[in-house]
Amino acid sequence: MTRPTGGPRSGFTSPPSRADFNTRVWQIVEQIPRGRVATYGQIGAMVKRPAGTGVRHYHAARARWVGQAMANCPPGLPWQRVVNSQGRISVRPGSDSHVLQRTLLEREGIEFDARGRIDLARYGWENSPRRR
DNA sequence: GAGATGACGTCCA
DNA sequence: ATGGACGCCATCT
């Protein structure tokens, strides 16, 4: 095991069973209620660590794995409700998807500040929405 | 077959 | 607050 595959700082990795991992992610995304958003890391923390995946590596890579899953998100899911830990849209700025995501979220009543950020304390999924 | 390209998060200077 | 490095690759031109 521990095959030092040669990739020095591979940053990009993938789950043992990508299809299975993606399915788990999609099942969670499917539950994000309208008007709320969840972060990649938050979702990753909800997906059980695949057997054979090092605890350490999983912690470091799962958020990106969720991103990979979202890049292949099947139609019908509220993909727009997944944003990064900063409360910002992660899709390349300027892309049609980016614009669409923001539009869809605003249509759900979610507000963006001047810097294009969403207040996770207010709109975060399973986060006490009271006060501000 | 080789090279470019990815929907992240955390830590440290 | 901001910028850069780091962390088991896979897939498409």
One DSSP character per residue, A43-83 reads: HHHHSPPPTTS-HHHHHHHHHHHHHHHHHTPPTTS-GGGEE
Which tens digits make up the pLDDT trace of A59-76? Answer: 999 999 999 999 999 999
pLDDT of residue A11: 85
A97 Cβ contacts chain B strand, under 7 Å: yes
Task: Provide mean pLDDT across the span A10-31.
Answer: 95
pLDDT of residue A35: 97
Q: Does the model's pTM come out above 0.85? A: yes
Give percent of chain A above pLDDT 70.
Answer: 89
A4 Cβ contacts chain C strand, under 7 Å: no
Task: Provide mean pLDDT across the span A4-18.
Answer: 75
Q: Give chain A residues 48-67 with Cβ within 7 A of strand C.
A: 52-54, 56-57, 60-61, 63-64
